Structure 1
Amino acid sequence: MSFRELDTMGDINNLDLCYLDDFVEGIKIQSWRVGRGVRVGELYPEDAKILMRPENPGVQLSSLLGNSESMLVASRDFREAIEKLCANVEIEYLPFTLYDHHKRPYSRDYCIINPIGTFDCLDLKASDIVWDTEKPDNILRIEEAVLDREKTRAAPQLFRLKESPHTYVVGLDLAKEMQQRKLTNVFWTRLRFNDEL
């Protein structure tokens, strides 16, 4: 089994692609929940909407909408791939209407995918981690995540890193499913195991 870190920003060099800088209108203060794998639940509005911003003029839609909020903003095909291979994973699917730059409905085919919780799978010694000097147990950022092979034996096909909840990891089977479906704007980096160093 191998794993990949999924890039939620997509192809930032393709300015034709739709790129989002906002969470759902009206509950922006709750965007931290989706970034950390906490349920949004009843706080989520029935008529949820996300607006495109003028500074991001691209309108071309893709399977994964790149964004600056560390969200998995997924098309119907992307969601179906996850539902197929992650039936036993606790995931919150948050549908919304995407509005264009003129505040007109543009698409209703997307949802925010919020895997709940995190998974403990890093080898902290082998990983390249920047620690907080004032709070030694606090991680500022992870430069390179290195997986502990033993810990990943029970890993699902989609999860968040315990030490970095805004980091999404996909398993090989899910990666293959995404490739077979020809999902667009999906980029990832293969993660190394601690016994591959």
Structure 2
Amino acid sequence: MLDRVLTKKSQKDLWFEVNNQILNALFTLMCLYQHPKRFHHLFLLCRWKPTDISILRKAYSKNGTYKPNERAHMMAVVVLLHVNCFAQYALCGLNLGYKRSERPNVGVAICLSIAIAAPAIAGLYAIFGPLGKEHEEAQNYNSANNGISLSEKRLSSTSRNEETGGFVQPALSSLPREDKATQFRTM
């Protein structure tokens, strides 16, 4: 496209190198911007507390819902995104550390391939893998945990009408707040 403007090979090489360095800087800046968040997600995956789980589900699961073995699948995605960042840093080091004529082509090709393939695989895995699918278990899990704590579920299930005993007591979740308090005092 610029053959008429850039007639000499040295001009073309300089133009190519300037464009290469600009693109390298932009992709490296994107990695530097995203990497702290990726480290934070890795930390949350290692810690794995209920508040962490909801943050990670919003980031990596379809509709932010529970998925079977979600921790392992999220870990795979996060590790691939870290590989992307480290490959981009290596590519940046090669581009800045060597002149164009001395730059090892094999190293550039490997780093560039990994830097492109890792996030592409992570994205495809997140969309088409277990994290991106709807599961019946996930729907059952989410509907079963509709904002009711485990202790309320236990108390509610013990207060149901027993088929054999005939003992009837209203469920705690249906009582007003002050009735719950008096219910615990009388027991």
The TM-score bracket by the shorter chain reads under 0.3
**Greater fraction of residues in strand:** 1
Structure whose alpha-carbon radius of gyration is higher: 2
The answer to which structure, 1 or 2, has the higher relative contact order (CA under 8 A, 6+ apart) is 1
Q: Structure 2 length normalisation: TM-score? A: 0.23
Q: Compute the TM-score of the two structures, normalised by the length of structure 1.
A: 0.22
